[in-house]
Homo-oligomer: A and B are copies of this chain.
Amino acid sequence: MTYKTPVRDMQFILDHMAGFDAVRQTGAWDDLGPELVTAVLEEVGKLADNVLAPLNQAADEKGASLKDGVVTLPPEFREAYSQYTEGGWGSLAFPEEYGGQDLPQTLALCVSDALFGACIGLSMGFCLTTGAVKALLAHGTEEQKKLYLEKMVSGEWAGTMNLSEPQAGSDLSVIRTKAEPAGDGRYRIKGNKVWISYGEHDLTENICHLVLARLPDAPEGTRGISMFLVPKYHVNEDGSLGERNDVRCTGIEHKLGQHLSPTCQLAFGDNEECYGTLVGKENEGLKNMFVMMNAARIDVGMQAVSVAEHAFQSALAYAQDRTQGRAFGVKSGPQVAIIQHPDVRRQLYTMKALTDASRAICYANMVAHDVAHHSPDLETARLAKEREELLTPVSKGFSSERAIESTSLGIQVFGGMGYVEETGAAQHLRDVRICAIYEGTNGIQAIDLIGRKLGMGGGKLAYDFIAEVKDNADALMASGTGDLEAIGQQLKAEAERLEAVTRWMVEAGGRGKAEDALAGASAYLDQFGYVAGGHYLGKGALVAAGLEEGDRAYHAARIAIARFYADNLLPRAGACATAAMAGEQTVREIDPALLAG
């Protein structure tokens, strides 16, 4: 099916909703003008639209295969991967010192947005490598950096994250993989890991695994976990490849979607000859991994948005092409394109509004990340860091939930054709479904939001955000045009309601009833997401209404999307609010046998 990188939308959302100017204003980059952004997006769009997107259905149909411990992808994906590395797309936001281009992470996220949308099965693998690069940049030794970073930044070598074990999924405190000093500064790694995305493949000549494991006599729980770099092939001092390390793929999962992406079971040191080196300090592995996981969570939210974008574009094209029925009250004459039917338009608007709202949240999240890391003003940096922390679980949780809804609507627009695999509509739902699960289930995200994030400064992070939303709502209401006023009113009401629920959540701990907050955590995350989405779409509508130049019709579309969201989707925040405050009694414990019917 058709896919085209939505450059115009991406740029509008980046500039007028997500506030990319704040990144420019850090002064950390000489030139981040719109021309540069356009050039980057259009260039990556060529790779996405012309190389990756045409392979998306093959990714699903052919998938990865495992034989004798070797994972193989169909050859066309090795070719596509080499075009990705040749374009330097993985190196965008890394230091020039290691061959990178030193651009903002936000721009790298936009690039990922294009690539994820074109072919998630291949491009989800890219962020494993960039994630590993980030971890090594932050915590690697000079030698590790020297030996590994340049080739990982270029994409010549790949990286992975090895956290989960069969008994340790959401709860990593019970990791059992062991690391014993080998006496030569290295460690012998022994254990089994599961759910390792791109844990083994033939895209690159080496794969650099970051592995969580326990040192002998390490403390129990999360504070006894260290991080190790365990390459598939050892690296000689001159940077050339040495012997094969004893890390083996023992199985790949047969999954609902993302068939190209090999989800591996890895065995480390089955023959006691697996060696790795320590990354960061002893027993700080989980803490260090989490820094990287926060970026990964934004990536997952972005993946969800991008796949939903692809689903939307396919559905939109189909709705313009497929004729069926006539307009209301018309009894004869030719059939009309189904986009003429209000209910079909409702479905398309829903997909579009949810996707753009989620995209704006993810972009704003990464803008905050860049500002936090690069603003010379400490207070600006601190506030941005808070915003990054607040939005991360929302980017991941809200975007993935809404993408499931959008891709399912995509099937619905296709009608019966949506249920047959040939159209590709169903693949989007299958591919995106994992985004609600990996990098911490959405339940974990919700607990992070109401626990750790609302816990910072007694809800300050959320109150600051809500204050901005209310200001934005006031500006919309003061604008004097019907659409903007209506958007502003809905937004103001929901912002105030969110403030009240936030207070209830913050105070739940004080009442000694943390379980009340836990029971409503997911509903609160959804509520927060709906309000945030309305906020960003509203910002975009306000800007669109004020723009003198440019494409007026396009600006009218931006307003229509924001208005649709305010009327049709933002009200869901109210329903979430009731659920969020229902308290522990709402999920009271019952003998499961009584529920089983």
Contacts and interface: CB of A to CB of B under 8 A. Distances in A.
Nearest to A582: B567
Interface in A319-356: 319-320, 323-326, 328-329, 331-332, 335, 339, 341-349, 352
B560 A588 contact: yes
A437 B418 contact: yes
A316 interface: yes
Contacts of A286: none
Interface in A229-270: 253-257, 263
A586 interface: yes
Contacts of A585: 563
B331 A596 contact: no
A547 to B, nearest CB: 14
A204 interface: no
A229 to B, nearest CB: 24
Interface in A388-417: 404, 408, 411-412, 415-416
A92 interface: no
A545 to B, nearest CB: 15
A592 interface: yes
Given A335-B174, A415-B441, A582 B568 contact: yes
Interface string A569-593: 1011111011100101111111110
Interface stretch (A50-58, A140-148, A296-304, A513-521): A513-521
Contact of A342 (B421, B430, B519): B519
A438 interface: yes
Contacts of A316: 592, 595-596
A596 B313 contact: yes
Most buried by B among A4, A167, A320, A433: A433
A346 B586 contact: yes
- Per DSSP, chain A at the interface is helix
A81 interface: no
A557 interface: yes
Q: Of residues A329, A339, A572, A594, which shows the largest number of chain B Cβ atoms within 10 Å of its Cβ?
A: A594
Given A331-B221, A416-B437, A594-B554, A254 B421 contact: yes
B515 A10 contact: no
Contacts of A167: 323, 335
Copies of this chain, how many? 2
B404 A408 contact: yes
Nearest to A569: B579
A420 interface: yes
A548 B415 CA distance: 49
Among A170, A419, A594, the most chain B Cβ lie within 10 Å of the Cβ of A419
Contacts of A563: 585-586
Contacts of A272: none
20 contacts: A6-B597, A8-B597, A169-B416, A171-B324, A221-B331, A255-B421, A256-B411, A328-B518, A342-B518, A343-B446, A343-B518, A345-B519, A346-B519, A349-B587, A408-B433, A419-B437, A557-B591, A564-B586, A568-B582, A573-B575
Given A170-B325, A347-B443, 12 more contacts: A167-B335, A316-B596, A343-B521, A343-B522, A345-B587, A349-B587, A404-B408, A415-B441, A418-B437, A426-B433, A563-B586, A569-B579
